Chains A and B, each alone.
Chain A
Amino acid sequence: MNHKNCGCEEFQELERGFSRRGFIGSVLAVGGGLLLTDASGLQYAMAATGDTNTDVVITISMRGGMDGIMAVQPLGSPRLRTLRPNLSFDDSATLSLDNHFGLHRNLKAFKTLYDQGELAVVHAVGTPVGTRSHFDDQNSLELAAYNNPGLASGWQNRYLTEVGATDVLAGISTTRQRPVTFMGPASAAVFENTQDVVIQGLEAVKRTDYLNVLRDLHSKNTHQWGRTAAATITSAERLAKVDSATNVVYPATILGNRLKVLASLIKSGIPVKTANVDFGGNLDVHSDAGPLTGTMANNFTDLSESIAAFKADIAQDWKRVTIVTITEFGRRLQENASAGLDHGWGSAMFVTGGGVKGGKVIANWPGLEDANLRDGDLAVTLDYRHVLAEVMRYRGGMTSANLSNILPDFKPSDLGLVRNIV
């Protein structure tokens, strides 16, 4: 990026003094030119943790390492075009957001949300410790407790505890295995389709008798399997009544289907507090990344159109939903010989929903010159936990005390991403 054009020369300075733990006090919203204060200067909302006053906080897990630069390209950067002859675009081929950044053209539905003030972009964001390992970075991303190796629960699980959720269906992961973010003491339901969790019953005995015996048989078992069985039975019986019909046409993709399932729960009044939805597409594009017609182009269409369909489907419930996309790392700045991108560090996040103060790109943009990069990667100048903390604080009614339990040893800063729900 040309720093003269973006008016952020001062961050050349910042970058030189960049240290992993030293940047929090200097967060800048490039789009609005807004300089934010550090954590010590903030007045935090103290919303009650009542049932009706919290959003459904949804993470869309972009597993595999989403390239943030291709999603949200810095404009006016001849260097980017040089380093990525195949995997970057002329500025005019992107959907310009603020003259500094342009969305990938297939994120058209995101541009609409952005223009409506319901989508914000956070850039050069990521985990505090980038290892370039999918598994280590994904694991630590979901544990979100970087100085607490003994803590074996995921952050969404701790959020459920802090929000006072007692209903198993308060936490939903539309996956076939439990993700780390939902591991821990709080219950959460894991299923991909509601028809997968219909208990069929036995032919010769009454359903209620059968279900009671199932409960009995599990009641003394101390494994998680046994401890969660009774809640599974109760929840399955409730889910059997959920109407999954919709007039909205979703993309015929894994994400489209998963969001459709989630929408049906929300519309049916299931009191979901937080959900994890795995994206399901291939983001690990070491070769043939497909910027215009292939893999990544399709990913962006899928992501943005699935969310647009979700919004249309849940209609008035959109105002109590906040969606955050999250990835374990971005990709290397320079493309490789296979027209692909190796593992990197900094990436971008999208935050969208009825309570989002959108229409802006929030970034402490580090620049793309060699000196700005970390080992060839876009530097992370903003810890992803700031984004999560703000969403949980203002849309989930979390106090500072709650947040310090969910994100231990972390001092969140206010980025101006969302309105207070109260």
Chain B
Amino acid sequence: MGNSKDLALESAALAKLANGFDPTERANFRRLGFKAWLEDQLNPKKPENEFVTTAMANFVASNLSLAKTAKTFPYSAKKGTVGDEVIQTTILRRLYSSRQTYETLVEFFNDLIPVPVTVDTISRIQYDRDVIRANALGHYPDMLLASSRAPGMLYYLNGATNTRKHPNENYGREILELFTVSTKYPYVQADVVTAAKVLSGIGWSRASMSLVVNPKNHFQGPVSLLGWSDPNPGNTVGQILATSESMIRHLALLPATAQAFSHRMARRYVSDNPTDALISAMAKTYLATNGHIPSVLKTMAFSAEFASSGGGKLKRPSEYLNSTVRALGLRLSGPIQAGDPTAPFYFAGSPLGAIQKQLSVQGHEPFRWPFPNGYPDNEQAWTTMTGQVQRWNLSASLAQGLRGTGFSTVDYRSMLPATAKTPDAITTALATRIFGAPLPPDDHKTIVALVSKADISKPGIDNISVWASTATSLFFARPEWNLR
């Protein structure tokens, strides 16, 4: 890693294919090189680190089947408990997982085929684990099929009440518009109804916590849409499931789906306006691999467009928080309470609760977007007064080690060489340590001027830490840090 092109690629890759760099990940990247690093990240067998593994063991419902969860107090009685758990484990893994690219994919798919946490909350862990996480390194058609049969999605888009007599179009519409071909494909209302008919009678039983297929509620007879047709006898559970699977796989592998999927993915990782050439290259891989997610991601990641895209896309609030915390090497401020989910402050007392709240204020708490199109993913949507002020405040809080952030304080002394004793030297040393290089001269000068004005007159004050925290507060307030 010598030249500026390599550094640009490193910084783009760690900002886009991970939740930002931390010292460990940067070392991994430099040791392996981009290709091998990404292959390692996408290895389904890549082990999780000990911290996350141990922390995850504290969460009870995450380690139970849905049926078991529903029978276990307090999940059986307190609706929000599973919701808080899936949100907090998501935050935890985005921040600290060794499988960073995987976590970014999990986020991507939770926006692509989303189920809000408020819908059938008890099953939200199941959706995240058995639909999204189980398939994020696999094939999109498999994930889409699993999603169509998950209780969360069945309740969210009304598949659970979609019947032969009155097809409920909600899911039928969104599977075309949002999950497969998109409105660029000229499908018509009749196609929406057909999709609903094919899926009619496939519902969910809360009593047995399992899929129920009722031939009485299934529309029977020939069906066709978008180049697919099926006699759809629909007399047996097996026939109904086979027909619906056939339709979903057909839709998921249409060229228009490959385009729409690739566009969404490129917009997420590369820029708000990816080129048609990149989208087409990704779509080609998608079709050649039957929607193999890591393959499409690699086509994107190894493109010239990706390599030169660093600094062009605004981080969403969660990415800002994650990347800042990782760059500073912060840990959680305290332990995640272990074991007993019936304890009154099982979640409220956890440092993850404070982080959850911070994301909520910024409008980016995991799984809270109420609509099936996922959180917005463009610069204008997130350039808000709240966003700017909250990020400046967060930067200041983390750098100064204020209470209530959910994170540990920075030990500046350990980050600085003993020779760094002036505002100028401290600013240079810290920037080099954190970002790998000093700041641009103008910004450096501006920040040093402010640091030099810091009040260090209080008796016993540690002037080195005051200078360092003042400088660091501004490092992460810079507009460039908000871009990736």
A complexed with B = yes
> Would B393 and A200 count as touching, CB distance under 8 A?
yes
B442 contact set on A, CB distance < 8 A: 220
Cα distance, A286 to B166, chains bound together (Å):
12
B161 contact set on A, CB distance < 8 A: 287, 337-338, 340
How big is the B interface, by class? Answer: 35 or more
Tell yes or no: B63 within 8 A of A by CB: no
A-B contact count (CB 8 A): 162
Cα distance, A338 to B477, chains bound together (Å):
50
A63 contact set on B, CB distance < 8 A: 371
Tell yes or no: B288 within 8 A of A by CB: no
B389 contact set on A, CB distance < 8 A: 191, 196-199, 232, 236
> Would A177 and B382 count as touching, CB distance under 8 A?
yes
> Would B385 and A236 count as touching, CB distance under 8 A?
yes
Cα distance, A216 to B442, chains bound together (Å):
9
Tell yes or no: A400 within 8 A of B by CB: no
Which stretch, B45-53, B206-214, B253-261, B443-451, touches the partner chain A? B443-451
B443 contact set on A, CB distance < 8 A: 217
Cα distance, A352 to B292, chains bound together (Å):
53
Cα distance, A168 to B389, chains bound together (Å):
15
Tell yes or no: A221 within 8 A of B by CB: yes
Tell yes or no: B380 within 8 A of A by CB: yes
Question: How far does the Cβ of A61 sit from chain B's closest Cβ, in whole Å?
Answer: 13
> Would A338 and B166 count as touching, CB distance under 8 A?
yes
> Would A134 and B371 count as touching, CB distance under 8 A?
yes
Given A217-B443, A286-B158, CB of A177 within 8 Å of CB of B376: yes
> A184's closest neighbor in chain B, by CB?
B380
> Would A229 and B382 count as touching, CB distance under 8 A?
no
Q: Which chain B residues numbered 426 to 484 have a C-beta less than 8 Å away from chain A? A: 442-443, 446-447, 449-450, 453-456, 466, 469-470, 473-474, 477-480, 482-483
> Would A224 and B379 count as touching, CB distance under 8 A?
yes
> Would B158 and A338 count as touching, CB distance under 8 A?
yes
Quick one: CB contact mask for B164-177 with A, threshold 8 Å, 1 for yes? 01101110010001
Cα distance, A177 to B378, chains bound together (Å):
10
Cα distance, A197 to B363, chains bound together (Å):
13
Question: How far does the Cβ of B447 sit from chain A's closest Cβ, in whole Å?
Answer: 7
> B478's closest neighbor in chain A, by CB?
A217
> Would A133 and B478 count as touching, CB distance under 8 A?
no
> B447's closest neighbor in chain A, by CB?
A213
B446 contact set on A, CB distance < 8 A: 213, 216-217
> B467's closest neighbor in chain A, by CB?
A204
Q: Majority SS of interface residues in chain A?
A: loop
Given A132-B189, A210-B450, CB of A286 within 8 Å of CB of B381: no
Cα distance, A342 to B168, chains bound together (Å):
7
> A211's closest neighbor in chain B, by CB?
B392
A203 contact set on B, CB distance < 8 A: 400, 466, 469
> Would A196 and B453 count as touching, CB distance under 8 A?
no
Tell yes or no: B361 within 8 A of A by CB: yes
Quick one: CB contact mask for B345-373 with A, threshold 8 Å, 1 for yes? 00000000000000001111000001101
> Would A178 and B380 count as touching, CB distance under 8 A?
yes
Tell yes or no: A98 within 8 A of B by CB: no
> Would A226 and B479 count as touching, CB distance under 8 A?
yes
A205 contact set on B, CB distance < 8 A: 450, 453-455, 470
Cα distance, A132 to B397, chains bound together (Å):
45
> B189's closest neighbor in chain A, by CB?
A375
A190 contact set on B, CB distance < 8 A: 384-387
List 23 interface pairs A-B (beta carbons < 8 Å), by A numbering. Answer: A131-B183, A132-B192, A136-B183, A176-B362, A191-B386, A192-B363, A196-B361, A196-B389, A196-B390, A199-B389, A199-B393, A202-B396, A205-B454, A205-B470, A209-B453, A210-B450, A213-B447, A217-B477, A235-B385, A236-B385, A286-B170, A336-B168, A340-B168
Given contact pairs A199-B389, A199-B392, enumerate 8 new A-B contacts (beta carbons under 8 Å). A133-B177, A136-B177, A178-B381, A190-B386, A200-B397, A217-B478, A220-B442, A287-B168
